[in-house]
Amino acid sequence: NAGVTQTPKFQVLKTGQSMTLQCAQDMNHEYMSWYRQDPGMGLRLIHYSVGAGITDQGEVPNGYNVSRSTTEDFPLRLLSAAPSQTSVYFCASRRTVAETQYFGPGTRLLVL
């Protein structure tokens, strides 16, 4: 298994540009989540999904959209990037609520 994969590893955007962060898992996990990690703030939940076609907001959802058309993929869309969205983004998945959560390697995003 490749586990949880994320692309790209690093991205530089200009303010106002849009982009999609990709996340995929090959473990047939129902639950997938997106987090951002900022110095002094820890990891914060952006959006999550409990299965294909079902998504919900986390703690910091503003400026981000998600969709879940397949079990494997959970892309995160930035509609109009802002410098405040400079962060490291992690995707995670788990099979059930009671089981271990697995994280991807992260995407470092810099918005100028």
Partner 1 sequence: KQEVTQIPAALSVPEGENLVLNCSFTDSAIYNLQWFRQDPGKGLTSLLLIQSSQREQTSGRLNASLDKSSGRSTLYIAASQPGDSATYLCAVMGSGGSNYKLTFGKGTLLTVNP
Residues at the interface with partner 1 (CB under 8 A):
4, 31, 33, 40-45, 48, 50, 56, 58-59, 90, 92, 97-106
| Residue 11, both tokens | 């991205």
Q: How far is the CB of 59 from partner 1 (least distance, A)?
A: 8
Which residues, in sequence order, are CB contacts of 94 under 8 Å at separation 6+? 29, 31, 100, 101, 102
Q: Which is nearer to partner 1, 76 or 106 (CB)?
A: 106
Q: Which is nearer to partner 1, 17 or 86 (CB)?
A: 86
Secondary structure letter of residue 48 according to DSSP: E
The 3-state DSSP class for residue 83 equals: helix
Q: How far is the CB of 79 from partner 1 (least distance, A)?
A: 23
Contact 35, 88 (CB under 8 A): no
Secondary structure letter of residue 106 according to DSSP: -
Q: How far is the CB of 57 from partner 1 (least distance, A)?
A: 10
Q: How far is the CB of 84 from partner 1 (least distance, A)?
A: 19
Q: Which is nearer to partner 1, 1 or 100 (CB)?
A: 100
Cα–Cα distance, 17 to 14 (Å, whole number): 6
Q: Which is nearer to partner 1, 5 or 17 (CB)?
A: 5
